[in-house]
Structure 1
Amino acid sequence: IFLHGFVHSDPHPGNILVKRNKKGQCDIILLDHGLYATLKENFRVEYANLWLSILNRDRTAMRSHSKNLGIEGNAYGLFTCMIAGRTWDSIQRGIDREQFSKSEKKFMKQAFTGILPQVSEILQNVDPQMLLILKTNDLVRSIEHTLRAGTGMGSFCVMTQCCVKSVYNQKYTNSQTKIEKIKVSLAEFWALLKIRVYYMFLSFR
């Protein structure tokens, strides 16, 4: 999603086949062609920036990138909760620092009925491409929960790296001179290095 803009909104075992090819590598074969799309570049980069702002707990950036995706004003808070699948308190504390707990899940279920009108309004105003992503995110979280996967620091590290690469790839493409391209490449390298060190530090806590 972040790097190539490809999103499949119904990736359950009945729609996807993993097959070993002649080279010994795995090919992913799509069996159902109803719910996938290629995201527009600007949308893809905005979505990557929004995720980075969530992971960085940057409320100003969350508001800005949410606005660029069609969500105005204070609704950005609920919108980011819908994207992350976490409560606002968890986002503020850092969703990469603490796992999704049973108490948080219970709280979200209890609160959902009260915020249903606001959720419906967000779904009406957001860029239509986001609807596919929201469906995909919910399904992937369900699969991760079933398999008990994706709860460690590794998944956040990979996602953060993909977001950074997406943002810097666009900056590199828009660079006009070789000097600018070199600066962007060095900045990307430094950003990715900091991410690796940061998540390595968290893994030892």
Structure 2
Amino acid sequence: MIFGKDAPLHCDPHGGNIAIRLNTSRRAPNNFDVILYDHGLYRIPDNSLRRSYAKLWLAVLDADEPRMRQYAKEVAGINDEQFPLFASAITGRDYRVVTKSVATSRTDEEKEAISDALGDGMLEQLVQLLGQVPRVILLILKTNDLTRSLDENLHTRQGPVRTFMILARYAARAVYEEKMELLAAAGFGPRRLWRRFAAWVDFARIEFKLSAFEMWLNIKRLLGMQPTII
């Protein structure tokens, strides 16, 4: 919903607003429907915002701090001083982890660092920061936080990194579709064909990276090295 072109975004997906229904017309493991209730809080972000937000998440997953800062400013007007707090807010992780890799489980040290920071006034700073961002961004952040919480409470096999892997796939698709649209509007020719191929390679690189990481997580699970559930 966040990354889909012209798609309405349900901004209150907590456990009480979601149900799972068996669908016998499809095969396992996809033989179910996800039912959303309480349709009072929808937004339709414009496509430029969706795409900039997708690029922000790809930068987060690549631990590319310059690009993270660029798209945080583009999406929410975040300046360099505000960025570390904003990065922690959108990922739910310590800023030092965000600049290295969010695709890791939280350690006891990280949880303690976040708890200490909240006690040292970070919560007040966060409230002030979120009060300055556009309302639609605030609702998107709320939606991300709720879905991340749902996933962690389900104790999924891949642990908390699963949320980031799903985000990465949809973000990569949104960026790829934007590139294809721009190239289609520019017409055809050898140079544009090359750019199409380059765009596909970028998309395939992310898919391969995620698939390899997912395979590694499954191997760890089979070997009894289950990711830490937060």
- The answer as to 2:55 corresponding to 1:49 is yes
Contact map agreement 1:18 1:29 (CA 8 A) in 2? yes
- The answer as to 2:230 corresponding to 1:188 is no
Give the 3 Å change call, closer, same or farther, for CA 127–15 of structure 1 in structure 2.
Answer: same
The equivalences for 1:1-205 within 5 A come to: 1-4=2-5, 5-20=7-22, 23-24=25-26, 26-69=32-75, 70-96=77-103, 98-113=104-119, 114-149=121-156, 151=159, 155-175=163-183, 176-179=186-189, 182-202=193-213, 203=216
Shift of residue 128, structure 1, vs aligned partner: 1.5
| Count of aligned pairs between the two proteins | 204
Contact map agreement 1:81 1:88 (CA 8 A) in 2? yes
Amino acid at match of 1:92: T
Per-residue CA shift, 1:74-120, capped at 9, x if unaligned? 21121111111100111122111x21233322321221241234212
Provide the rounded CA distance (Å) in 1 between the counterparts of 2:60 and 2:127. 22
Report the more deviating stretch, 101-110 or 164-173.
101-110
Provide the rounded CA distance (Å) in 2 between the counterparts of 1:191 and 1:91. 22
- The unaligned stretches of length 5 or more in structure 2 are 221-230
- Quote the residue 2:224 is aligned against: none
Contact map agreement 1:53 1:62 (CA 8 A) in 2? yes
Provide the rounded CA distance (Å) in 1 between the counterparts of 2:146 and 2:176. 28
TM-score if structure 2 supplies the norm length?
0.76
Shift of residue 132, structure 1, vs aligned partner: 0.9
Amino acid at match of 1:77: P
Contact map agreement 2:102 2:161 (CA 8 A) in 1? no
- The unaligned stretches of length 5 or more in structure 1 are none
Contact map agreement 1:165 1:188 (CA 8 A) in 2? no
Amino acid at match of 1:198: K
Per-residue CA shift, 1:139-167, capped at 9, x if unaligned? 12221221112526655443222212111
- Quote the residue 2:226 is aligned against: none
Contact map agreement 2:20 2:33 (CA 8 A) in 1? yes
Partner-residue secondary structure (3-state), 2:82: helix
Contact map agreement 1:10 1:136 (CA 8 A) in 2? yes
Shift of residue 37, structure 1, vs aligned partner: 1.8
Provide the rounded CA distance (Å) in 2 between the counterparts of 1:118 and 1:154. 29
Partner-residue secondary structure (3-state), 1:93: coil
Shift of residue 169, structure 1, vs aligned partner: 1.2
